[in-house]
Amino acid sequence: MAECGRVDSSTSSHTMDKSITLPPDEIFRNLENAKRFAIDIGGSLTKLAYYSTVQHKVAKVRSFDHSTKEAPSDKLYEISVQEEVTARLHFIKFENAYIETCLDFIKDHLVNTETKVIKATGGGAHKFKELIERKLGLKVDKEDEMTCLIKGCNFVLRNIPHEAFVYAKHADSEFRFQTTHPDIFPYLLVNIGSGVSIVKVESEDKFERIGGSSIGGGTFWGLGALLTKTKRFDELLQLASKGQHTSVDMLVKDIYGGSYGSLGLTGDLIASSFGKSATADKEFSKEDMAKSLLHMISNDIGQLACLYAKLHNLSRVYFGGFFIRGHPVTMHTITYSINFFTKGEVQALFLRHEGYLGAIGAFLKGAEEDNPNQYSWGENYAGSSGLMSVSPDMYPMQRARSGTFDMLEMDRLERQLVNLPLLQDPSSYIPDTVDLTEDAQAREYWLYCFEEALDGVVKRAVASQPDLPEAAERAEKFRQKYRHKLQTLRYQPFAYGSLTVRSLLDTREHCLNEFNFPDPYSKVKQRENDMALKYYQKAVNSLEKLSWEERQFALVRGVLAGNVFDWGAKAVSDVLESDPEFGFEEAKKQLEERPWLIDSYDQWLERLKGPPHRCALFFVDNSGMDIILGVMPFVRELLSRGTEVVLASNSGPALNDVTNGELQILTERIAAMDPVIQAGLKEDRLTLVQSGSSSPCLDLSRLDKVLAMVVRERKTDLVIIEGMGRAIHTNYYAMLRCESLKMAVIKNSWLADRLGGKLFSVVFKYELPAAKADQDSAVLPPV
C-alpha cells in the first residue's frame, strides 16, 4: 500500500512538473554530452553547472595536392565544413521551485553514463540532496560554499573581461565596467546572502573569512515579508524602490531641526532607522517601510564592509550574493553606503556573473583533473543571457520569453590567452575606442547599423551553404537570435560589459556559430583569394620598377587600397555586390589623396631611411586583395630590408578576415611564385601565428600565448595593425612599448564624420613609444 501511494504521488507530481514546459533548445542545452555536474542551491535560486562538448561545424581549408590530377578545378584550396568538438561550460540559474522539473528534464535528456557524482554547494544543498540523488542517480558530493564562491570569483575575474563594474545610478551610464587588472589579488568579497560573509582573498588558494553579519538579505526578506505581507524578494525590492524612507526613519533633522553641524552630519542622514514608527497610532505604507528597511540593511552592511576593509587595508571590495544580484536598487544603496563611510576611498565593485560564482567554483572543484584553470575561457554571447536578463523592471519582454531562467555559457578556447608583451601598461589598456554604453548617440547609430546589415548577413549565411536545404531555416533562427540581442542591448547596453562595436561584431559571430554558420564568407574569401593571387606577380613586378621612395609610398597605398575590400563595411559590400569587376585599381582611386585624415607618412618614410627593424608583428585584416596585393608586398619589402616578420591572423573566421588556416595556404602559394617570401619562410624569418581571436576586432590583452612567446623571442620592435576593426574601432589609442603603425581606410561615413573625415579617409598613424624608447629598440641590430 505504501508503495502504491508513493508511486501515485510521484506520478501526480510528474504530471504537474510537465505542466511547466521548458524550451529545450534554449535551456539545458547540449545535455547529451554533459558531464561533470555541479549544483549550487541557494535560498531561492538554484544554479546548475555542467561541462559539455559542443559539436560545431567549422570551416576548414585544405590545399589541393597539385601534384595529383584530383584537383577538380583551378581553385586554390578546398573548403570543407567539418564537425569539431569544443568544450563548453553551461550555467543555468532558476528558482528553486523549478528544481524538480529541472532534475526530471536533465534525467530525460542525459545520455552520458560516465558521470557518477554531482558536486553540490550552497545552503540548500543538503535539503535537496536526497531529491537529487533519487532523480539523477548521481551521488551528491558536497563542497564548501565559501571555497566554491572564491574559486568562482577568481575564475570570472580572470576569464571575463569587464566582469567587474561600479554602479552609478545617476550617471549617463549606470554601469562603469572595470578593466581587469592583470593581478586580481588581494581583494575583499562581501557576500550578501541571507546573512553576510566578508572574505579576504589573497591568492588562488589563500582566503580567509574575516567577518560577517547576520543582518543580510534574509533580514530584508524576512522582516520585509512581516512588515508588508509581500512574499517575494523581488516584489519587496520593487516596493522599496517606490517608497520614501523619510516618513519612517528618524533623520538628523527630525532630532536637530537641521544638521548636526559640529559633527558634519547633514540633516538628511538617518539617525534612527524606523525611529518614527515607534508609535501605535500611525499607519505606514508598505513602500515606505520597505525602503526604510532597505536603507537600514544596506547601510549596515556597507559600514561593516568599510570597517573590515580599513582594518585589513584593502581597497578592492566586491559585493555579491542574492541581495545584490544585479538589482539596481541594492547596488545603489550599497554604493551609497560605501561612499558615505569611506568618503570615496573605497569603491563598491559588483560582478556581472556573481550569481554563478558558487556553481562555477563547485564545478571547478569537480573538474580539477581537467585542469580548467590551465585554459582560457570566453563568454559566449549567444548562449548567455547577460546582466539583468530577468530583471522585470528592465525589460519585461525577456522575462516572458525565458521564464526565470538565466544562462551563462563559456567556451573553452583552444589556446591560452595572454597580454601582448609590448603593451605599455596592461592594467590601463582598453581595447575599444568608443564605449557605446556611455556614448548614447554612437550606440544609437551602431545598433541601427547592425540591424540594417542583418538582412545581408542572413543572405550571405544561406548562400554559404547551398547544399543544405535547412540552411534558410537556421539562418532565420540566427536572425531572430541576433535581432533579439540587439533589442536587448538597446535597453540593456551593459548586458555583456561595455557595449562596443567589437562586442556587437563578436555577438554576431557567436550567434552565427550557434546556428552552424561557421564561416558565411568562406566562398567569397576563396573566390577573392583566387583572383588576387593571379595579380600577385604583376603587382610585385610593377613595384620592383619603382624607385625606392616611390615604392615605399606605393606599398602603403597598396595596403590601404587592399583594405578597402571589406565585406564588413556596408559602403563597400554594396559596391562589391553590385560590381563584380570592382578591382584593386578601382579601390586605389577611391582612396583619399594626401594629406590623409591622420597622416604621419613622412615620419614613417624618414624612419625607413634608417636602420631596419629587427622584427615586425603584423596584424592582418581581410582576405583577397587586402592580404595578397596589399599586405604581402609590404611584408616582402620588410623582409628585403632584413626585418623579420610575424604575420598574426585570426584563429577562427570572422567576416572576410583571413584566417590562419587560409593564410598558411596563401603564403605557400605565394612562396611558390616569389623567392623572397620563399626564402623568408625557409629561413624562418617569416612566421605565421594565430592571434587566438575570432573577432574582426583586436583585444591586445587576450592574445594567443604562442604569439606572445614569438614576439618576445624575436625581440619585436614594430607592431603593424591594419584595418578599421583592429586599428580604429579598437587600438586607436593603444600605447605600445615599441614603434607602431596603424593603417586603415574609414569605410563608414558616420565614423568618418565623427573623426572629422569623409568616406574612404585614410588613417596612417605611425607612433613612437610615449616614454623614452625602450632598450631593446634603442640598440639597433646590425644589418
Neighbour count for residue 424 (Cβ, 10 Å): 15
| Ramachandran angles phi, psi of 260, nearest 5° | -100, 85
The least distance separating another protein from the CB of residue 463, rounded to whole angstroms, comes to 56
Residue 66 or 126 with smaller CB distance to another protein: 126
The least distance separating another protein from the CB of residue 78, rounded to whole angstroms, comes to 58
List residues bridging with 423 in a β-sheet: 736
Give the total residue count for the chain.
783
Residue 340 or 553 with smaller CB distance to another protein: 340
Query: 174: buried, middle or exposed (CB in 10 Å: 19+, 13-18, 0-12)?
Result: middle
Using CB under 8 A, which of 24, 182, 222, 396 touches another protein? 222
Residue whose C-alpha is closest to residue 525's, from 458, 464, 437: 464
Binding mask 87-126 for another protein (x = CB under 8 A): ------------------------------------x--x
Q: Which cell numbers hold the place of 754?
A: 565623427
Q: Does 323 sit near another protein (CB under 8 A)?
A: no
Select the span of 17-25, 187-195, 553-561, 608-616 touching another protein (CB under 8 A).
187-195
Residue 220 or 478 with smaller CB distance to another protein: 220
List residues bridging with 208 in a β-sheet: 200
The least distance separating another protein from the CB of residue 139, rounded to whole angstroms, comes to 18
The least distance separating another protein from the CB of residue 193, rounded to whole angstroms, comes to 8
Task: Please spell the DSSP secondary structure of 447-474, one letter per residue.
Answer: HHHHHHHHHHHHHHHHHT-TT-TTHHHH
Instruction: For the segment 229-258, give every residue that binds another protein (CB under 8 A).
Output: 231, 233, 248-250, 252, 254-258
Binding mask 639-678 for another protein (x = CB under 8 A): ----------------------------------------
The 3-state DSSP class for residue 242 equals helix
Instruction: For the segment 26-85, give every residue that binds another protein (CB under 8 A).
Output: 43-44
List residues bridging with 88 in a β-sheet: 52, 411
3-state helix, strand, coil in the chain (%, to 5): 45, 20, 35
Select the span of 159-167, 189-197, 359-367, 649-657 touching another protein (CB under 8 A).
189-197
Residue 285 or 678 with smaller CB distance to another protein: 285
95-108 burial, b at 16+ Cβ within 10 Å, e below that, comes to ebebbbbbbbbbee
Using CB under 8 A, which of 152, 161, 216, 757 touches another protein? 216
Residue 159 or 219 with smaller CB distance to another protein: 219
The least distance separating another protein from the CB of residue 156, rounded to whole angstroms, comes to 22
Q: How far is CA 682 from CA 475, 668, 676, 686, 706, in A?
A: 43, 11, 10, 8, 20
Select the span of 100-108, 224-232, 594-602, 723-731 touching another protein (CB under 8 A).
224-232
User: 422 near 737, Cβ under 8 Å?
Assistant: yes
The least distance separating another protein from the CB of residue 338, rounded to whole angstroms, comes to 14
The least distance separating another protein from the CB of residue 133, rounded to whole angstroms, comes to 17
Residue whose C-alpha is closest to residue 596's, from 424, 763, 450: 763
Radius of gyration of the chain (CA): 29
Instruction: For the segment 329-348, give every residue that binds another protein (CB under 8 A).
Output: 341
Using CB under 8 A, which of 194, 498, 500, 730 touches another protein? 194
The 3-state DSSP class for residue 741 equals strand
Number of residues that bind another protein (CB under 8 A): 65
Residue 142 or 523 with smaller CB distance to another protein: 142
Its sign, for the CA torsion 165, 170, 171, 174, is: positive
The least distance separating another protein from the CB of residue 165, rounded to whole angstroms, comes to 27
Residue 195 or 456 with smaller CB distance to another protein: 195
H helices of 194-348, in order, are 217-228, 233-242, 252-256, 286-312, 328-342
* Strands across the sheet containing 406-412: 139-142, 117-121, 35-41, 45-63, 77-95, 406-412, 377-379
Pairing between strand 644-649 and 187-192? unpaired
**Separation CA 734–CA 770 (nearest Å):** 11
Residue 249 or 506 with smaller CB distance to another protein: 249
The least distance separating another protein from the CB of residue 130, rounded to whole angstroms, comes to 14
Using CB under 8 A, which of 76, 132, 150, 223 touches another protein? 223
The least distance separating another protein from the CB of residue 335, rounded to whole angstroms, comes to 18
The least distance separating another protein from the CB of residue 357, rounded to whole angstroms, comes to 17
The least distance separating another protein from the CB of residue 155, rounded to whole angstroms, comes to 20
Q: What is the dihedral of CA 689, 733, 504, 174, to 10 degrees?
A: 140
Using CB under 8 A, which of 26, 56, 63, 195 touches another protein? 195
Residue 77 or 220 with smaller CB distance to another protein: 220
**Separation CA 233–CA 225 (nearest Å):** 8
Q: Does 211 sit near another protein (CB under 8 A)?
A: yes
User: 79 near 61, Cβ under 8 Å?
Assistant: yes
Beta strands in 154-295 (DSSP E): 164-167, 175-177, 187-192, 196-201, 207-213, 250-251, 270-272
Residue 329 or 746 with smaller CB distance to another protein: 329
The least distance separating another protein from the CB of residue 285, rounded to whole angstroms, comes to 12
The least distance separating another protein from the CB of residue 121, rounded to whole angstroms, comes to 12
C-alpha of 407 from chain center = 15
The least distance separating another protein from the CB of residue 337, rounded to whole angstroms, comes to 11
Instruction: For the segment 256-315, give every residue that binds another protein (CB under 8 A).
Output: 256-258, 260, 262-263, 269-281, 284, 289, 296, 299-300, 303-304, 307-308, 310-311
Task: Please spell the DSSP secondary structure of 322-336, one letter per residue.
Answer: TTTTT-HHHHHHHHH
Q: Does 214 sit near another protein (CB under 8 A)?
A: yes
The least distance separating another protein from the CB of residue 218, rounded to whole angstroms, comes to 3
Residues in CB range of 366: below 8 A, 6 or more apart: 36, 37, 38, 117, 119, 141, 143
Select the span of 71-79, 176-184, 220-228, 730-738 touching another protein (CB under 8 A).
220-228
Residue whose C-alpha is closest to residue 420's, from 712, 765, 159, 163: 712
Residue 223 or 501 with smaller CB distance to another protein: 223
Pairing between strand 196-201 and 187-192? antiparallel
Residues within the interface to another protein (CB under 8 A): 43-44, 123, 126, 144, 146-147, 193-195, 209, 211-219, 221-223, 225-227, 231, 233, 248-250, 252, 254-258, 260, 262-263, 269-281, 284, 289, 296, 299-300, 303-304, 307-308, 310-311, 341
